Structure 1
Amino acid sequence: MNHYSIYWIKEEFAHHFFHSSDVLYRFIKEYQKNKNREDLKRQYEYITMNFPKSSLISHITDNHPISSCLRAEGDRLNIYNDIQYISLHIQKKKINFRSEMIHDAEELLFPALRLFQPYLFIVGNDLNNYGWISPVTQRKKNKKGQVLYSYL
C-alpha cells in the first residue's frame, strides 16, 4: 500500500504556490526530514491549518460515496468497498492515508475532501507524487465600470 499525507494550506499560500507546487513539495519533504529545525517548524506552522478532527470525520461520514462503507475509530477512518480500501489517520496538521492506488482515494475520499476544503495539498510519502486536491481559483476583483462590448 502507498502512503500519502494531506496538508491544509492557508489560502494566501495556496494561491502563491499553486503554480510552483514543486517548491511547496520540497519544503514539506525538508520539514519531514528536519523537524528539529526551528525555522522550518515555524514556517510549517505558519502556512498550514489545523484539521478539526470531529467536524472532518462528520463531514466525511456524511459525504462518502453511497457505494462504500465507512468505519470510524477515534481519529481513524476506514473507507472501503468490494475492491478498494483506504485507511485514514487524522492528525493535528495533516491527514495520513494508505491506499493501494491514488485512484482509490480519488473515488472514495477526495470528493468529500473537496467539499470540505479546496486548499489541500497531497504528498506521496513513498513516491515522488504531489499535487493539489482541487484547482486553486483566483477570485476576480470587482471591476466596476469595466465592461467588454462586441458589435458583431
Structure 2
Amino acid sequence: MMRKYDIYLIEKEVANHYYQRAGLIFQLFKDFQQPSHIQYDELKKQVEYITKPLPIEELEDAIESAFLHTTAFFKGEKQYKLSILKTQSRARIKMYDRLISLEGIGGVDAETAFFEVLRKLNPYFLAMDFTKEQYGWLTPIKTKKFI
C-alpha cells in the first residue's frame, strides 16, 4: 500500500505558536485540499501566509549529497527516487514552490531517509497524510524553559 505525505515548510512564528496544536494546521490544509470548499480562496491565502516558499536549491543539494553514493538513487528535475533493496522500501520525493510531495511503498526506510534530510535542513517542516489523517513535525520544536 502506498503512503503519501504532503510536506510544507511552516513560518517559524506560526510553527512555534501552533506546535502543540498542529491539528488546527492539519484541518486548514485538509479543507484546502478540497477546491470546491466554499471558502477556498480564503483558505489559499491562509496557506500562503503560514507557509514559506521552499529553498529548492538548498533541498536539492542536501538530498543529492545525502544519497549521491547510494546505488539505488535516481535524480530527475525537482524529483528524486530512492530504493532500499534490503527492506524493499521505495520512496519518491517531488518539490514544488511551497509543497514537497513524498510517496513511499514497501518498508518505511526510504521515506524515513528523506524525512531525515529534511529534518536536518529545517525544523519547521510539517508532514501530513490526508488518507490516514495523520500529521507531525519532522523535528520536535524545543520550547523555552523559564525558571
Q: Secondary structure at 1:77's aligned position in 2?
A: strand
Letter in 2 for 1:123: M
What percentage of aligned pairs have identical amino acids? 23
Identify the match of residue 40 of structure 1 among 32, 38, 43: 43
Give per-residue Cα distances to partners, 1:22-45, cap 9 Å, x unaligned.
Answer: 111101101111377221111111
Q: Which residue of 2 aligns with 1:149?
A: none
Question: Residue 8 of structure 2 contacts residue 126 of structure 2 at CA under 8 Å; is this kept in 1?
Answer: yes
Question: Residue 64 of structure 1 contacts residue 112 of structure 1 at CA under 8 Å; is this kept in 2?
Answer: no
Q: Which residue of 1 aligns with 2:104?
A: 99
Q: Which residue of 2 aligns with 1:22?
A: 23
Once the two structures are overlaid, the 10-residue window that deviates more, 132-141 or 3-12, is 132-141
Distance 2:101 2:40 in 1: 22
Go from structure 1 to structure 2 and tell me whether the alpha carbon gap of 1:139 and 1:88 turns closer, same or farther (over 3 Å shift): same
Matched, 1:129 2:134: yes
Give per-residue Cα distances to partners, 1:7-54, cap 9 Å, x unaligned.
Answer: 100110001111011111101101111377221111111100111222
Question: Residue 68 of structure 1 contacts residue 81 of structure 1 at CA under 8 Å; is this kept in 2?
Answer: no
CA RMSD of aligned residues (A): 2.3
Letter in 1 for 2:44: K
Q: Secondary structure at 2:128's aligned position in 1?
A: strand
Matched, 1:112 2:88: no
Distance 1:113 1:66 in 2: 18
Specify every segment of 5 or more residues in structure 1 that has no aligned partner in the other structure, as ranges: 147-152
**Moved beyond 3 Å, runs of 4+:** 64-69
Q: Which residue of 1 aligns with 2:73?
A: 70
For residue 125 of structure 1, report the CA deviation from its aligned partner: 2.9
Q: If the length of structure 2 is used for normalisation, what is the TM-score? A: 0.85
Q: Secondary structure at 1:109's aligned position in 2?
A: helix
Q: If the length of structure 1 is used for normalisation, what is the TM-score? A: 0.82
Specify every segment of 5 or more residues in structure 2 that has no aligned partner in the other structure, as ranges: none
Of structures 1 and 2, the larger Rg is shown by 1
Q: Secondary structure at 1:127's aligned position in 2?
A: coil
